[in-house]
Structure 1
Amino acid sequence: MDDELSGEKWGRKFPGSTNTRDLSGNFRLAVEDFLYAMKEAGIRVAINATYRPPQRSYLMHYAWRLARKQLDPQHIPKMAGVNIEWDHGEIDASVKAAKAMLIVLQIHHLPIKPALRSQHNSGLAIDMDLLWNGTVEVKDASGNMVKIATLPRTGMNRQLIAVAATYGVKKYNGPGSDRPHWSNNGY
């Protein structure tokens, strides 16, 4: 099969999920319990991603790097089952196609390089934006009410991160910053 040139249409291939039903086993149960506790506390939750096929991670990773001119399109490795041609014959055309992909993939504002492999590929991660006003009381996994009056009122709140850990949902703890990312192991 011939490879197709990269570009906007590739951003729609290999779609990911935003549904907790696509998370794996016990992690799914932990996330759903944590989500319920947050919603009961009045925390607004917007889920951006749950399961992500490995092919989508590949497209995200290399489109992001190519769009920022971090590599030559001729040196992007192939992935089985992804018949994409990154090299458009000239660097500007290749970069332009990669930038178009970033928009469709909804990662054009992402400040860090998407992982080539992540816990999303195994259904063991969730990306979500969290927001609330004032003080909230969130139930931890043991049933204790935890009053959260500290800032920020987002998923970066240390008290909320500690509550999440009681459920087995861990805030990203790797290099750089991945604000919406939570997983079974912090990566």
Structure 2
Amino acid sequence: MSRPDGRVDPKGRTWTALSGGDTGGAAAPRRRAAPVSGRQPPVASTSPGATRAANAQGNLSGAAWWHANQARYPNSQSVDDLESPFREKAKRFIAALRAAGANVRVSATRRNRIRAHLMHYSWRVAKGQIAPTDVSAIDGCDIQWDHGDLTKSRAAAAEMVRLFHIVFKPSLTSNHIAGTAIDMTISFSGTITVADGSGKSVRVGSVAALNPVGASYGVLKLASDPPHWSANGH
């Protein structure tokens, strides 16, 4: 303002200057706002496998998982867990053997379906027969086969194969899983007389001679597997 009058009367020079109407002085330059860039900082990319592995550290397959969880899925040694009518047939056969003086030790009956699943897929992943990402989930078991790296995934599965003591590819449809097979060790001294399924007395001098006796009860021997008996001989 070139000549201020010291007053702020409406329409006066001071009023006009304060209202922005005085052009006698240089106007203060306006500051321009800095342009806003639409670009965002780059985000590091992560592979889907690595993301899954990072989200599942607590349930990754391998030796640590096996030691922490496998006991939750035990196989049974109880004849009561077999499927009927094979259960009743096996009980009758075992009772006849013990009545004849034979010693019968049952080591396995029904196999836990989750344990069978774990054994089957640990073998297949370890052998490269299936991708870790393609293993089907099973209710009641929290395990992550994909470590985000194929080599690590296969190595972890191989650890479980060793811990399960797997020698051949495990089945998902065996008689043990269905509850129609029993593993039992039978022993006796000399010759015994055992009743067959019809009640007929049969003298036997070896465990192999019991095969037809077991068949008369509907308990069939798998000759290639010494302790194994089943509903269909497999």
Give the TM interval when normalised to the shorter protein: 0.7 to 0.9
Distance 2:145 2:226 in 1: 29
Whichever residue aligns with residue 183 of structure 2, its letter is: D
Say yes or no: does 1:180 pair with 2:230: no
SS at match of 1:185: coil
% identical aligned pairs = 37
Distance 2:227 2:68 in 1: 26
How far 1:76 sits from its partner (Å)? 6.2
Where in structure 2 are the equivalents of 1:94-173 lying within 5 Å?
Answer: 94-100=157-163, 102=164, 108=165, 111-150=167-206, 153=207, 157=208, 159-172=209-222
Aligned residues of 2:123 and 2:157 also touching (Cα < 8 A): no
How far 1:149 sits from its partner (Å)? 1.7
SS at match of 1:25: coil
SS at match of 2:85: helix
Structure (1 or 2) with the larger CA radius of gyration: 2
User: More strand per residue: 1 or 2?
Assistant: 1
How far 1:71 sits from its partner (Å)? 4.0
Distance 1:178 1:63 in 2: 23
Aligned residues of 2:135 and 2:145 also touching (Cα < 8 A): no
Whichever residue aligns with residue 182 of structure 1, its letter is: W
How far 1:53 sits from its partner (Å)? 2.9
Distance 1:21 1:79 in 2: 29
Aligned residues of 2:123 and 2:158 also touching (Cα < 8 A): no
Per the alignment, residue 25 of structure 1 pairs with 84
How far 1:75 sits from its partner (Å)? 6.6
Q: Where does the alignment leave 5 or more consecutive residues of structure 1 unmatched?
A: 103-107
How far 1:37 sits from its partner (Å)? 0.9
Where in structure 2 are the equivalents of 1:32-43 lying within 5 Å?
Answer: 32-43=91-102
Change (3 A) 1:169 1:57: same
TM-score by length of 2: 0.62
How far 1:99 sits from its partner (Å)? 1.6
User: How many residues are paired up?
Assistant: 170
Distance 2:233 2:212 in 1: 12
Q: Where does the alignment leave 5 or more consecutive residues of structure 2 unmatched?
A: 1-54
Distance 1:23 1:12 in 2: 20
Say yes or no: does 1:80 pair with 2:138: yes
Whichever residue aligns with residue 170 of structure 1, its letter is: L
Higher mean alpha-carbon deviation, 1-10 vs 118-127, is at 1-10
How far 1:116 sits from its partner (Å)? 1.6
Change (3 A) 1:63 1:38: farther
Higher mean alpha-carbon deviation, 12-21 vs 2-11, is at 2-11
Higher mean alpha-carbon deviation, 159-168 vs 23-32, is at 23-32
TM-score by length of 1: 0.75
Instruction: Output one character per residue of 1:80-106: Cα deviation in whole Å (capped at 9) or x when no partner.
Output: 213322345424343224322x1xxxx
Change (3 A) 1:77 1:65: closer
Distance 2:225 2:123 in 1: 15
Aligned residues of 2:197 and 2:216 also touching (Cα < 8 A): yes
